Structure 1
Amino acid sequence: MKDFILNNYSLIYRIFIGASAFFGLVTYKKYKTTNVRYFIFFLVYIFSFELLAGYPSALHDNPSLSHIKAFLKGTKFERNFWVYNLFWNLLSTLFLSFYYHKIIKIKPYKAVVKWAAIIFLAAAIVYLTFNFDEFFNRSVVFIKIMALIVILLNIVLYFIEILRGDKILTFYRSFNFYASAALLIWWLVTTPVVFYQIYYSTADLNFIKLRAQIFIFANIFMYSTFTFALLWSKPENN
C-alpha cells in the first residue's frame, strides 16, 4: 500500500483536491449567501493550479509535447517551483487573509488581519526583488515562513473570537471551524519539510519518500476535512 501511494501520490492527492472542489460546487447552493462561497471558489482555484503544476510530468510523459519540453529546457519554467511559490505561498495566503477578514467580526482583529496581509505582501516583494532566482529554483523558505505566521495569526484570531462569543455553542456545525483546524494542522506539519528542501535530490531516496509521505497524508487529511465540513456544516449568516 505504501509503495502504491508513493508511486501515485500526485494523482491521489489531486483526486482529493478535485473531490473537495466538486463537493464545494455541489453544495454551493447551500452556502451561496454566506462567506463560505468564497472558500468554494478557492477550492476550485487550488484544483486548477494543481493541474497547471503538473505540466513537467505531462511534458515528460507525452512524446507529442516534446517540442514544448525542448522549448522550456534550460529556462526558469522547466521546473514547477514557481507555480507553488506564486499560486500557493503568495496568492493563497493573500486569499486566506481576505477570507478571514470576511469571517472575523471584531474590528481590531480585522485590522490586524488586514495589516498582516499588507506587510506579508510587501516583505515578499522586497525579498524576491533581491532573490528572484530562488522563486524558480526551490520553495522560498522566507515566504513560506511568513505565510505560516500570517495564517497562524488569522486562525488564532478566529478561534479567540469564537471563544469570546456565542459561536462556541455551535462551532461543531461551522465550516469555518473545521477549515481553520485543517489549515492549521497542514501548515504546521508541512512547513518544517521546507527547511530540508536543499536535501531534495535523487541521491537521497529516504528523504524523497519521507517528504512524499508527509505531503500526501497532510493533503489527504486537509482536503478530506474540507469535503466533510462542506457536507456536514450548516450555513452561517454573514
Structure 2
Amino acid sequence: MSNSLMAQHMVELIAAIAGAYYYFKTKDHQIKIFVWYLWLTVAVETIGMYGYLNYNNFDNTIINWIKNSVFSSNTWLYNTYYLASSIVFALFYLKVVKDHLSKNIIKFSVLIYVIFTIAYYIISGTFFTKSVPYDILLQTLLVFIYVMLYYKQLLKSDRILYFYKLPIFYISSGLLFWYLCVTPLFIFDAYLNLINADFIKFQRSYLLIANTLLYSCYTFGFLYTVQYKKH
C-alpha cells in the first residue's frame, strides 16, 4: 500500500477516534449516528484493501477463490458503502433539522436516490463491476440539499450566534466543501483515467489533500467543541 493511502487511512481513523471521544464526553445523540458512520468508513477502507490481492500472486485457496469470483474487485463493497452513506447522511440530518417540510424533503430525496440506485443495479447487473453513472453528482445534490436545510435552520435560530461551538456546523461545512471540490474530478474521471497517467497521479494527490482536509475538519470540530458541550 502506498504512503498516500496509509496517510488517508490514518486521518480517517483519527477522525473516528475524535468523534467517539466527543460522544462519550457529551452523550450528544445527534452526533451518534455520524460517529458510527466514521467507524464504518474506517472498516470499509480496511476491508477494501483486499483488492490489493489482485496485484500479488499468493498461493492460497481462499485468496485464489476471491480472485476468481465476483468479489475479485472491491467495487461491490464501495457501491454498498456509498448507498449506506447517503442513507446515514439523511438519518443524521433528520435528527438535526426540526421543521416538518425540511424533514419531508430529506425523506423524499433519499428515497428517490435509493430506489433509483437499487433499480439501476438490478436492471444493469453491474453491482460487482461498476458504480451508478455520475453517482457523485447525485450524492453531491443530496448533500447540498441536506446542508442547505441545516444552514437555513441555523440562520433562523439563536444558534447562529455561537455556530462555532457546534460540531454539526463543522461536519456540514466539511461535507459540502469536499463534495463541491471533488465532483468535477470524478466527472472527468471516465474520460481521462485510462489515457492519461498524469491525470491519475493528479487525482490521487488531489483526493489525498481533499480527504485530509475533510477528516481534519471533522477532528477539529469534535475536539474544539467538546469544551462547550455539557454532559
TM-score when normalising by structure 1: 0.87
- Rounded to whole Å, the distance in 1 between the matches of 2:114 and 2:209 is 29
1:113 corresponds in structure 2 to: 106
Is 1:123 the equivalent of 2:155? Answer: no
**Which amino acid counterpart does residue 184 of structure 1 have in structure 2?**
L
1:141 and 1:194 in contact (8 A); partners too: no
Is 1:11 the equivalent of 2:6? Answer: yes
1:177 corresponds in structure 2 to: 169
1:72 and 1:78 in contact (8 A); partners too: yes
- Rounded to whole Å, the distance in 2 between the matches of 1:120 and 1:107 is 20
- Of the candidates 12, 20, 31, which is equivalent to residue 15 of structure 2? 20
Q: How does 1:13-162 map to 2 (within 5 A)?
A: 13-57=8-52, 60=55, 63=58, 66-87=60-81, 89-133=82-126, 135-162=127-154
The 3 A distance-change label for structure 1 pair 43 and 137 is: same
The 3 A distance-change label for structure 1 pair 200 and 82 is: farther
Question: Which structure 1 segments of 5+ residues have no match?
Answer: 1-5
Q: CA offsets per residue over residues 41-72 of structure 1, 9 Å max, x none?
A: 111111111111111125645846x4333223
1:144 and 1:191 in contact (8 A); partners too: yes
Cα shift at 1:37: 1.9
TM-score when normalising by structure 2: 0.89
- Of the candidates 166, 169, 183, which is equivalent to residue 158 of structure 2? 166
Question: Which structure 2 segments of 5+ residues have no match?
Answer: none
The 3 A distance-change label for structure 1 pair 40 and 85 is: same
After TM superposition, where is structure 1 displaced by more than 6 Å over at least 4 residues in a row? none
Cα shift at 1:92: 0.3
1:56 and 1:78 in contact (8 A); partners too: yes
2:200 corresponds in structure 1 to: 208
- Rounded to whole Å, the distance in 2 between the matches of 1:127 and 1:9 is 33
Cα shift at 1:152: 0.9
- Rounded to whole Å, the distance in 1 between the matches of 2:187 and 2:62 is 32
Aligned-pair identity in percent equals 26
User: Cα RMSD over matched residues?
Assistant: 2.2
Q: How many pairs align?
A: 228
1:224 corresponds in structure 2 to: 216
